[in-house]
Structure 1
Amino acid sequence: MTEPPKPPEAGDRLVAAANRPSPPERPVSLTQPRPHRPALPRQVTGPVRVWRGVVAFLASAVRLASRLAALILALYAIFTVFKANPANIWYQFVASLASSLSVGLANLFQLADIRWTTLVNYGLAALVWLIVGSVVAGLIRRAAP
């Protein structure tokens, strides 16, 4: 008859570790150089620092502008889906901006319901703005040294 397994105690090794041979210990040698460690990043000063700041600002501005365009397109789609009042000044403002930001996708699909048509077309235009804005911002960031 076999004994039940004992619960682990402090200092016990794992079973998998017990079956594996331990790596041989390396003797410490004062004559051999240490293994290569990556150098700490240097403090950037002067024109390179200014250029990095300009590039970061431009990338952030592109990303912000593309997100703002996508937000306007999404707002117009939401206004249309929920049948907002077309005489409202906010609706008119968002509609005028959305028509110029739709990048030619306003009439891409013609569905039976005008609300679905607006949602699909302007939603697709919003996605295009988000994707293109992210790609352009990434390319701008790569310009930094």
Structure 2
Amino acid sequence: MTATMGSTVRNGLGIIATIVRIVGLVIVGILVAHIVLTLLDANPSNFVAQFISGYAARFNLGLGNLFVPSQPKLGVTLNYGVAAIVWLVITTVIVRLLRRL
């Protein structure tokens, strides 16, 4: 019976790890989409651009003004790019820990 319970726990942790990976990748995708829309001069009053910009601001981990170069687009690329990398690293570490349990 304990073998079945251990298998169930492993399956549950695998599902949680998959959910964490998906959520992390969605956040990284939002941050990257914000960078792309900024670089391509998307209309800031467009609903999609506002939606992505709003969520990117929530997920930037306080790194929205880490770098302040003279070109605003470079600032967005650096700041949100660093945030995306941090999210990717955090997500990868958590998923690996969950899979090892």
TM-score (norm 2): 0.94
Q: Is 2:67 aligned against 1:103?
A: no
Q: Residue 49 of structure 2 aligns with which residue? A: 91
Q: Give the structure, 1 or 2, with the largest relative contact order (CA under 8 Å, sep 6 or more).
A: 2
Q: Residue 46 of structure 1 aligns with which residue? A: 4
Q: Provide the rounded CA distance (Å) in 1 between the counterparts of 2:3 and 2:47.
A: 50
**Ranges in structure 2 where 5+ consecutive residues have no aligned partner:** none
Greater helix share, 1 or 2?
2
Q: Provide the rounded CA distance (Å) in 2 between the counterparts of 1:60 and 1:93.
A: 25
Give the AA of the match of 1:82: L
% of aligned pairs identical?
A: 31
Q: Residue 3 of structure 1 aligns with which residue? A: none
TM-score (norm 1): 0.67
Give the AA of the match of 2:97: L
Q: Residue 29 of structure 2 aligns with which residue? A: 71
Q: Provide the rounded CA distance (Å) in 2 between the counterparts of 1:135 and 1:45.
A: 27
Q: Provide the rounded CA distance (Å) in 2 between the counterparts of 1:45 and 1:132.
A: 31
> Which residue, out of 84, 88, 95, partners 1:126?
84
1:50-61 alignment runs, 5 A limit: 50-61=8-19
Q: Provide the rounded CA distance (Å) in 2 between the counterparts of 1:133 and 1:140.
A: 11
Q: Which moved more, 1:100-109 or 1:58-67?
A: 58-67
Q: Provide the rounded CA distance (Å) in 2 between the counterparts of 1:140 and 1:45.
A: 19
| Structure 1 segments of 4+ aligned residues over 2 angstroms from their partners | none
Q: Is 2:98 aligned against 1:140?
A: yes
Larger radius of gyration: 1
Aligned-residue Cα RMSD (Å) equals 1.2
Q: Is 2:74 aligned against 1:116?
A: yes
Q: Provide the rounded CA distance (Å) in 2 between the counterparts of 1:81 and 1:98.
A: 15
